[in-house]
Structure 1
Amino acid sequence: MELDRAFCAVGEFGSCQRRFVAVLVGLQWCLIEQEAYKVSLASSLFFAGLLIGNITFGPLSDKFGRRPVYLTGLFFDVILGYISAFAPSYRIFAMSRLGVGVMNGGTALVSFVLMQEYVGKSFWALTGSLAHMTFAVGIAFYAMLGYCIRDWRTLAFVSNSPGAFFFLLSYLLPESPRWLHSQGSVEKAEVIMHYIACGNGKESLKIKLKPLGGSGKIQDSAPGVLNLVTHPVLRRRTIILMYVWYVCSLVYYGLTLNAGELKGNLYLNIALYGLVEVPACPLCIYFIEKPWAGRRKTTSAFLISAGFACILNMFLREYSGLFWNPILLALSGKLAISAAFNTVYIYTSELYPTVIRNAGLGVCSMTCRLGGILAPFVPTMKSISPSVPFVVFGISGLSAGFLDLLLPETLNQPIIENLQDLQASET
């Protein structure tokens, strides 16, 4: 039995992912005047850690398996989170934030791939979209916690505690059957598939997977991330996807900065910034499953829509009508770029073979972090002209949207397990 057909037969179950937002601690250690930069430094170290985690955890999970890398990262994520909450000095706090960033960035990436590989490809759109929706809901939930808990140590402790619960639940998760199958461990993959089938009330179903070409472990998985450079098909896809991911992050945070002009309660505004992304989930599920849209056209359309939102914002900065309010337009653009972010995760997962899927997502996520780092500097270009930041964000969104059209469509296509299958699909 082929692996995709086996998933359709046995049913599905999923996983979950979590994020922990850093807190400001300037007043705790009197970080004022010449020491004020340390407040921003702690946040910068967290985002630097995210970048490191994105780069390192992907190849590790492709080599050693999804489950052990995910559990290890989640365990140290929780431990370092508690160290941040009870840090006796700024130095320990800052280093723990770096560690939390590494573990958080890597664990989030691996958990997403693990979740997708538990289910059949026909469910990837649903599970991928729901994963991103929980992130948006998490922003709103964190805003509520921040409103109710004003002490930063208590807030850090409470927001970190669900991780310990999820770590215990994660011990019940088996290894990814797709990863085992790609490594030649067909019998182990069959056992896990039968376990999933039993959980879905199909105990009598017999699972017999077809081994991949060759014997034993697939040899092309050994080089890992180097294949992204040496393999011509992967190199072309990776270059395009890196730019798309970079623009997604750049425009997302750029529109967020513009939406930051909203007046009113700070906690309510933060909650709205998260909840405005929730509609992206049903939008993505609807469009990417339609043959006339698919993954490629949907991603491109959302990117172009976000780009146009930035361009229109440039012309409507001084206008404050009911339907053409610049802030409303910026939030609409954020919804579009959030939907693009959602879709590109699913799309990228389907463009890479199983043996190198995590490494590919890790490299793309790395450029995503670079976009997030550079985004705050773009608004400073308004010293040249107030329109320049909107031009940068708008052109970036439009160019990424059109460049995305050069990638192949993956809707209703079988999941590629190894590099031989990838090469065959291109011929």
Structure 2
Amino acid sequence: MALELEEAFGAAGEFGGGQRRLTAFLVLLQVYVACQSMLIVLVGAAPEYHIDQEEVPVSRAELAKHVHFASNFTSIVTEWYLIEQEAYKVGLASSLFFAGLLIGNITFGPLSDKLGRKPVYISGLFFDVVFGYVTALAPNYDTFAVSRFFVGIVNGGMALVSFVLTQEYVGKSFWSFTGSLTNLTFAVGIAVYALLGYCVREWRYLALVSNTPGIIFFLLSFMLPESPRWLYSQGKTAEAEHVLQYIALGNGKERLNLKLKPSAGTLRKDESTPGILNLVKHPVLRWRTVILMYIWSGRRRTMTSFLVFAGFACILALFLPTNAGLLFSPTLLALCGKMMVSAAFNIVYIYTSELYPTVLRNAGLGVCSMSCRFGGILAPFVPSMKSLGPFVPFVVFGISGLSAGFLTLLLPETLNKPIAESIEDLQIPKYQVLRNKKVNQSEENT
């Protein structure tokens, strides 16, 4: 008997042994992604220094003769003397990386929706490793800065595709777990990079050590199957069945014969492939994208609670004296707000991927995440908000959290709802019937 895709996942296993191995591999990849993302923090560190003459030399050659760094580590600052008038170049390299992330998010997403998850992911990882070595071996600052820009493009795009690929290997009920695990491992990767920085004090060696694991991940990535959800959304039912059978075998189900129903989103030969413009043309997707782009600067109800709590915590901190005690201090409330924002940011990745159909999932996720990259581009050059007043940061963060939290109420709930595979699934009666069936079944089980 032919099965719906979610029913086929139920038969093959939603999170069996084979899927755990696939997920573990892609989750561990986040350690490498984090090291590449945080590279500039340590290789661009500026140690204390003094100049043994009153006037600062104009030329770099003269500057090198009179500058003495008080440190036991090297960085691009100590090698290329990025101090005084040249100090802005460290921030510039960081901004170029985030500019690359922005471009990677909005290009790799639509490409993976059109060409497939696996080829775009592997290509991105390959160039990430290549440009990572260019960064480590850069003979001058210009080469270093340009390489960081290209690392940002491929690193951000590849990480986005790998996140979606992790979700699409498993049943929908495990998306929250795998998505949270991915973001958690990224945080672990930051800690791992900090440990590497403590052990490796030469910035070029640190860049090489941080980049080398990418070769292992690249070679092993060829064993990954294509996303069965993407194949099904493209009308490649036979190939989707083959991948699901492969997953079933990995889960220990050897005699399983899966047969899928034809996809509702199967394109006719005279139809064009859905593209990123559908996020603007389609009224439902347009409305969702606008709201999500704002929220990006759990599930809907959970995310709303986190954001609103974070907003109230920051606003409340305005009215507490600095000597109010540890339990009710503004610092503690600000930390609580930061914790809630981090939790909401973790959920918004998962929630966004659930709101878009498979044919546009990476494009939607890329466009939404693009909005949070502008802050990274501008951050090195924006003075601290505290210079405008000690209360300004709390007001900005509080209003942002409250408004973003309440805006999520305009978006649909995704808990126990089926995943849309095509744009047609958002509006055709068949999807609504399946959706109601899933909801009723879940309520009965509860």
Instruction: Assess same fold via TM > 0.5.
Output: yes
Class of the TM-score when normalised by the shorter of the 2 chains: 0.7 to 0.9
How far does residue 333 in structure 1 lie from its aligned partner after superposition? 2.0
Contact map agreement 1:61 1:110 (CA 8 A) in 2: yes
1:64 is aligned to 115
8 Å CA contact 1:58–1:358 kept in 2: the answer is yes
Matched AA of 1:323 = L
User: What amino acid is aligned across from residue 9 of structure 2 in structure 1?
Assistant: F
**How much has 1:314 moved relative to structure 2?**
2.7
Q: Which runs of 5+ in 2 are unaligned?
A: 45-75, 434-446
Partner of 1:283: none
Match of 1:268 in 2: none
Tell me: CA distance 1:91–1:377, structure 2 relative to 1, closer, same or farther (3 Å). closer
Query: SS at the partner of 2:78?
Result: coil
Change (3 A) 1:241 1:219: farther
CA contact (8 A) 1:303 1:336 kept: yes
Q: 1:336 aligns with which of 340, 346, 350?
A: 340
By how many angstroms is 1:205 displaced?
A: 1.0
2:12: which partner in 1? 10
| Aligned-partner SS, 1:159 | helix
Task: Give the whole-Å Cα distance in 1 for the aligned partners of 2:315 and 2:269.
Answer: 48
Assess if the C-alpha contact under 8 Å between 1:70 and 1:107 holds in 2. Answer: yes
Name the CA distance, whole Å, in 2 between partners of 1:318 and 1:378.
Answer: 26
Deviates more, 1:406-415 or 1:216-225: 216-225
Task: Tell me by how many angstroms 1:221 deviates.
Answer: 6.6
Deviation of the 1:214 alpha carbon: 6.7
Question: Partner of 1:403 in structure 2?
Answer: 407
**C-alpha contact (below 8 Å) 2:100/2:152 kept by paired residues:** yes
Q: Is the 8 A contact 1:233 1:423 kept in 2?
A: no
Per the alignment, do residues 146 and 325 of structure 1 end up closer, same or farther by CA in structure 2, a change over 3 Å counting?
farther
Report what 1:279 is aligned to. none
Q: In the TM superposition, what whole-angstrom CA distance separates every residue of 1:299-340 from its partner, at most 9, and x where no partner exists? A: 111111221232233334623622234433333222211110
Offset of 1:382 from its aligned partner?
Answer: 3.5
Residue type matched to 2:287 in 1? R
8 A contact 1:309–1:332 mirrored in 2: yes
- The amino acid across from 1:5 in the alignment is E
* Paired amino acid for 2:202: D
Question: SS at the partner of 2:198?
Answer: helix
My pick for the range that moved more, 151-160 or 175-184, is 151-160
Question: Of residues 179, 183, 189 in structure 2, which corresponds to 1:128?
Answer: 179
8 Å CA contact 1:379, 1:389 repeated in 2 = no
Selected match of 2:276 from 200, 210, 225: 225
User: Hey, what's the Cα distance between the residues in 1 that align with 2:309 and 2:381?
Assistant: 23
Q: Is the CA contact (8 Å cut-off) linking 2:94 and 2:377 kept in structure 1? A: no
Could you tell me which residue of structure 2 aligns to residue 90 of structure 1?
A: 141
Could you tell me which of 151, 159, 174 is aligned with 1:108?
Answer: 159
Distance apart, 1:220 and its partner CA: 6.8
- Name the CA shift for 1:305/1:392 in 2 (closer, same or farther; >3 Å): same
Paired residues of 1:183 and 1:217 also in contact (CA < 8 A)? no
* Amino acid of the structure 2 residue aligned with 1:8: G
**Secondary structure at 1:26's aligned position in 2?**
helix
Give the TM-score taking structure 1 as reference length: 0.85
Give the number of equivalent residue pairs.
380
Q: 1:407 Cα shift?
A: 0.4
**Residues 1:29 and 2:33 are matched in the alignment:** no
What is the CA-CA distance between 1:409 and the residue it aligns to? 0.5
For normalisation by structure 2, the TM-score amounts to 0.81
The match for 1:160 is 211
Matched, 1:245 2:296: yes
Corresponding position of 2:309: 305
CA contact 2:274–2:359 (8 Å) conserved in 1? no
Q: Structure 1 residues 243 and 63 mapped into 2: Cα distance closer, same or farther (>3 Å)?
A: same
Query: Amino acid of the residue matched to residue 122 of structure 1?
Result: S
Q: 1:378 to 1:92 in 2, by over 3 A?
A: closer
Partners of 1:221 and 1:356 within 8 A in 2:
no
Residue 215 of structure 1, CA deviation: 5.3
- Which of 220, 238, 249 is matched with 1:169 structurally? 220
Kept after mapping to 2: 8 A contact 1:182/1:218: no
Code of the residue aligned with 2:136 in structure 1: it is A
- Structure 1 residue 394: Cα displacement: 0.5
Between the aligned partners of 2:329 and 2:400, the Cα distance in structure 1 is 22
1:77 aligns with 2:77: no
The 2-side partners of 1:218 and 1:245 are apart by 37
- CA displacement 1:179-217 (0-9 Å, x = unmatched): 010101000000010001001100111111111137556
Give the root-mean-square deviation of aligned CA atoms. 2.0
1:367 aligns with one of 345, 366, 371 = 371
Question: CA 1:85–1:214 in structure 2 vs 1: closer, same or farther (change >3 Å)?
Answer: closer
**Following the alignment from structure 2 to structure 1, what is the Cα–Cα distance between the partners of residues 180 and 190?**
16
Per mean C-alpha deviation after superposition, the further-off stretch among 385-394 and 177-186 is: 385-394
The C-alpha deviation readout for 1:236-255, integer Å capped at 9, x for no partner, is 11111111012xxxxxxxxx
Q: Give 1 or 2 for the bigger CA radius of gyration.
A: 2
Q: Is the 8 A contact 2:265 2:424 kept in 1?
A: no
Please give the alpha-carbon distance, in whole angstroms, between the structure 2 residues aligned to 1:218 and 1:326: 61
Give the counterpart letter for 2:5 in structure 1. L
List aligned pairs for 1:234-383, cutoff 5 A. 234-246=285-297, 288=298, 295-316=299-320, 318-319=322-323, 321-373=325-377, 380-383=384-387
1:422 is the counterpart of 2:426:
yes
Determine the structure 2 residue equivalent to 1:201: 252
Q: Which runs of 5+ in 1 are unaligned?
A: 247-287, 289-294
Q: Which amino acid aligns with 1:148?
A: C
